[in-house]
Structure 1
Amino acid sequence: MKVERMVKKGLVILAAAMLTASSANAANVETMGIGSMNTAQAGAVAAHADNVFAAYYNPAGLTLIEKPTLTVSTMFYDAQIKVYDWNVATTGTNDGIASGPMDFESDEMAILSPSMGFAMPVTDKITLGVAAYTPYGMTVTWDKDPSVNPAAAYAWESTYGRVAVTPTLAYEVSDKLSVGVGVSLGRSISEAGKTFEYSDKFKTDGSAGGNALAGFNAGTFIAETTDLTFAQATTPYDAEGNSLASDFVAGATLFDGAQMKLEATDDFNYSFNVGVMYRPIEQLSFGLTYRGRTETEFEGDATVTGALGGTTNLDGTATMEYDHPEQVQGGIRWFASNKLSVEADVTWTRWSINDGQYETITLYDVPGQGDVTQTMGHPRDWEDTTAYRLGISYQATDAFSFRAGYAYDPSPVPEETFDMGWPDTDRNLYSVGMGWQINERWMIDAVLQHIISTSKRLTENSHNMDDNYSKAYGAPASVTLEDEGILWGAGMTVTYTF
């Protein structure tokens, strides 16, 4: 009967967790923390993950939970990206391209990220749990008007993330060794938006003829204005050297000033979390966690608003495959006393699994073309990263504990493939927190977090940016800019022990 009651409780918690996860989101390319206790220690908890979110940090840590435990947590983030010294240099003309400011900022991004979990021992050796959280996420939004945000011609929105529900089993092999495994069941979202903009000279080039749309190949236009590199000439050419002037002028006439939005989801995907925890002596604990790759297949909608001078809207579909990376996190925790512990972790992330991001788009009833299908591509070639984390926990009294953490998290995005959809930088993470054990059943934890770029990032050799603005100007262009990110976060976690 004890096991039956546990299963019923687990199913109720799982259902509630799924509802919570469906509205979760996060603020950057990678999670900034799950649960106030873990976030306050900058995520340096792999060697002693002693709460329900061990399902993510180290599944083996669930064996440290002695009684049925329910935890509800939320993080609030306020993030912003600032751009300095924006400049586009071209050998052609910039007639009709709004120059915009040299310095500008993203929209203020206020994001709420909830999470919850439940765990309970089944036997003296086995603990079961389930947690809902956001393992990966990013949301970046900008002004859509190129005169306010000159980067809108590349992107004014990028959203990419996953929410997961992870049933987990942990087994205490001995007093010193525990292992755990979880199946992470997830749902992923991807959104992107840009404003098409072309120079007046490009749109009125004499080689287009009197009726630009008459000979227009929309498929060629969509592909060439999103994928391929311009030849070093004032009019575009394809890979074989054939002039695409007519198609480009017609396409610019059709799309100039229009806004394109892509919204796609992968409604079900999965990965595995595996962990081991070893404590050879009372003063020392080791932890190792593997979080598996998540394969995705996104499907959704594509819309273009304001084509043909604001008179035409187009609908369509979009598909994309872009996997979430695998991670390995290892940590060592030193228990200096029964009150003070310090942990150092490293987290390796395999960002290199995706060479490029390719979205296949079908637009219906394009004027003079009917339905048009093309693949838009963005080279990625991201680099694998290693983040370094340090966390400290101090039990001041039986009721109050204090925590602090620091992490250095390098960007996986190289300069060559930097773009305004993923304006990532190397960053420092600082966090402080405290816990209050109200009584034997209730506990509240809180955290304050600050994340900031290690320095302004200088970009001046990005193929993605240069190619995009070469197509906007109809001539070879070079983009230079500096950017930095700033994020403040605050969170609270409430835990109830049955």
Structure 2
Amino acid sequence: MKKVFCMCAGLFMLAATAQAGLVQPFGIGARNAALGEAVSAHATDAFAVYYNPAGLSNIKTPTLSAGTAIYDAQAYYRDYKIVDSKGEDRTRELGIQNTYWKTDKDPIINPHMGFAMPVNERISFGIAAYAPYGFRMKTEKDPFHRPTGFNAWESYYTRVAVTPAISYKVNERLSLGFGVSMGRSEAGGGKTSLYDPIQLGILKEIEKTQGIPVNKESLKQIGIYEHIDKSEQGGKFITSEMEMDDSINWSWNAGIQYQPTDKLSLGLTYRSRTPGNFKGDFIHNGQAIGKVVMDYDHPEAIQAGMRYAFTENFAMSFDMVWANWSIGKHQAEYVTIHTIPDETMAFINKVAFGAVSIDRGMTAEQIAASPGAMADVEATKNQMIDGIKKTKDMGYRRDWDNKIQYKLAMEYVLNNNFTFLAGYVYDPTPVPADTFDNIWPDNDRHVMTAGFSANVTTNWTIDFAFQHIRTFDWGYRDDINGTSEHLNKVASDLLLEKDAKMYIKNKGYLWGYNLTANYRF
């Protein structure tokens, strides 16, 4: 048995390094994926440590499970446009070529593995490595071809966890379980800006203090507009990125499994909130110029389900999962810049001269010849530098809604060696239209699953699941019609005017293939 534990430890280390490109898993283990995760009342493998640790009591012999899921996702966007405060479409004027596009397919591999065994007649033990949740979106950086890149061309939030758990069989009908998860999380993203965001921030501060409007006409009049660093179609891009991680975090889960009759099983699982304390780098045009801190937790969830065996060969399950998404009121991202790029320093110098020129009514040559005016220039520059280096919250209002997932599954035992599995999940998005963006481009999802469990030999069992996910009631999400404050802010920054709006429709598809091999000792 010591060899088994050593083998598990090695596999878990492999899993932790292989999770770099995961998406939301939609099922940990092929059997659970094929059943649409409606398994809280009858968890039967090592991944019960996640779904319901009380289900470890169902395992009668030491079992090692290992496998992987391959996801192939694609998102579609259409009817993209930028509208100014007068209601005029300015999309083409900005040089944006595409108003309809789709993302490239980029298959993602997400492994999972676990081991479970009965310790004695009442206690069972399990341990598993998996990704309990995650999200990753990435497309090309050129926003003139993929305009959502002005908001985000990359966004990710992932966690990999190792969870040991135990179950205690109170009697033949009631079991209790508890597990503790140790995880590592990563988060970050990137976007391309039409105007350098640091320089644009300087101008917005001047607008507050000196009343100089941040629009093309005013900036051209004072000779500043031509000095703003800009992205160019087919040329250079002004990019901002954040790369963060939370090296270790903890959560726990507990469950009850109760079988009031021989045909009916009930399950209840609580998964605790996972604190996310992220730290990392703020990267401007490929150069790490600052630090970023983000506190953003993953919510607690409650999963409740029932399974009814109509016959010895046919059973159905129904689960509901409530998640406390309302904890996501605000996504705080505290950025502290410690290195000011050379082009920004040159811009600061130009703006300082311009501000003093307006204030004193002097030309640049007159300012250079006046010690008093030059002192004002230096004071203005230092004020702007101090403002840039001051820690700022560059985060977003979220105000997500609590939601309930609905999961339905069926099992049909064809013979002693083959069981057919199928499921359906309705997963409503917690993201409202007014805080939707490409950082969290979440939609309602319909998840359709089918698969099988096959006994290959006395010891080996193979589980397989196919998944097809479609978003937002079989069509495009069409409520992002100038309603998102985050996308509207992007539109206003692009046009350098207030009250601009962004319109977009999107949908997505995902195909998943999940295979798990189980060996019973």
| TM-score greater than 0.5 by the shorter chain | yes
The question of whether the paired residues in 1 share the 8 Å contact of 2:62 and 2:520 is answered with yes
Quick check: 1:151 aligned with 2:148?
Answer: yes
- Note the C-alpha offset of 1:436: 1.2
Q: Which one of the candidate residues 21, 27, 31 is aligned to 1:37? A: 31
Q: Which one of the candidate residues 103, 106, 126 is aligned to 1:109? A: 106
Which structure 2 residues correspond to residues 281-300 of structure 1 after superposition, within 5 A?
281-300=261-280
Q: Which amino acid aligns with 1:300?
A: G
Identify the residue that residue 253 of structure 1 maps to in structure 2: 228
The question of whether the paired residues in 2 share the 8 Å contact of 1:154 and 1:195 is answered with yes
Identify the residue that residue 83 of structure 2 maps to in structure 1: 89
Which structure 2 residues correspond to residues 242-321 of structure 1 after superposition, within 5 A?
242-243=211-212, 245=214, 253-254=228-229, 256=231, 257-305=237-285, 313=287, 315-321=289-295
Q: Distance in 2 between matches of 1:317 and 1:15?
A: 34
The question of whether the paired residues in 1 share the 8 Å contact of 2:114 and 2:127 is answered with yes
The question of whether the paired residues in 2 share the 8 Å contact of 1:75 and 1:492 is answered with yes
Q: Which one of the candidate residues 39, 48, 51 is aligned to 1:54? A: 48
Q: Which one of the candidate residues 360, 379, 382 is aligned to 2:397? A: 379
Q: Distance in 1 between matches of 2:9 and 2:98?
A: 49
Q: Distance in 1 between matches of 2:321 and 2:6?
A: 32
Q: Which amino acid aligns with 1:183?
A: V
Q: Distance in 2 between matches of 1:314 and 1:119?
A: 45
Deviation sequence 1:276-309 (CA, Å, 0-9, x none): 0000111000000011100011111221227xxx
The question of whether the paired residues in 1 share the 8 Å contact of 2:281 and 2:288 is answered with no
Q: Distance in 1 between matches of 2:207 and 2:105?
A: 40
Q: Which one of the candidate residues 305, 308, 330 is aligned to 1:356? A: 330
Q: Which amino acid aligns with 1:22?
A: T
- Note the C-alpha offset of 1:260: 1.3
More strand as a share of residues: 1
Q: Specify every segment of 5 or more residues in structure 1 that has no aligned partner in the other structure, as ranges.
A: 204-216, 226-235, 307-312
- Note the C-alpha offset of 1:31: 3.2
Quick check: 1:468 aligned with 2:490?
Answer: yes
Q: Which amino acid aligns with 1:49?
A: A
The question of whether the paired residues in 1 share the 8 Å contact of 2:275 and 2:298 is answered with yes
- Note the C-alpha offset of 1:14: 3.6
- Note the C-alpha offset of 1:147: 1.5
Which structure 2 residues correspond to residues 18-417 of structure 1 after superposition, within 5 A?
18-24=13-19, 28=23, 30-91=24-85, 97-198=94-195, 218=198, 221=201, 237-238=207-208, 242-243=211-212, 245=214, 253-254=228-229, 256=231, 257-305=237-285, 313=287, 315-363=289-337, 364-367=339-342, 368=345, 369=385, 372=389, 373-417=391-435
Cα distance change of structure 1 residues 183 and 251 upon mapping to structure 2, 3 Å threshold = farther
SS of corresponding position for 2:415:
coil
Q: Distance in 1 between matches of 2:435 and 2:305?
A: 32
Cα distance change of structure 1 residues 314 and 137 upon mapping to structure 2, 3 Å threshold = closer
SS of corresponding position for 2:81:
strand
More helix as a share of residues: 2
User: How many pairs does the alignment contain?
Assistant: 458
- Note the C-alpha offset of 1:97: 2.3
- Note the C-alpha offset of 1:325: 1.2
Superposition TM-score, scaled by structure 1 size: 0.86
Q: Distance in 2 between matches of 1:381 and 1:440?
A: 52
Q: Distance in 2 between matches of 1:456 and 1:362?
A: 38
Deviation sequence 1:376-430 (CA, Å, 0-9, x none): 1111111111010001111111111110000100001000000011111111000
Taking only the aligned residue pairs, the percentage that are identical comes to 36
Identify the residue that residue 11 of structure 2 maps to in structure 1: 16
- Note the C-alpha offset of 1:490: 0.4
The question of whether the paired residues in 1 share the 8 Å contact of 2:112 and 2:131 is answered with yes
Q: Distance in 1 between matches of 2:200 and 2:513?
A: 48
SS of corresponding position for 1:108:
coil
Q: Which has the larger radius of gyration?
A: 2
| Superposition CA RMSD, Å | 2.6
Q: Which one of the candidate residues 467, 473, 481 is aligned to 2:504? A: 481
The question of whether the paired residues in 2 share the 8 Å contact of 1:335 and 1:342 is answered with yes
Q: Distance in 2 between matches of 1:423 and 1:149?
A: 14
- Note the C-alpha offset of 1:251: 11
Cα distance change of structure 1 residues 95 and 387 upon mapping to structure 2, 3 Å threshold = closer
Identify the residue that residue 491 of structure 1 maps to in structure 2: 514
Q: Distance in 1 between matches of 2:122 and 2:38?
A: 25
Query: Which piece of structure 1 moves more, 434-443 or 250-259?
Result: 250-259
Q: Distance in 2 between matches of 1:163 and 1:21?
A: 6
Cα distance change of structure 1 residues 250 and 324 upon mapping to structure 2, 3 Å threshold = farther
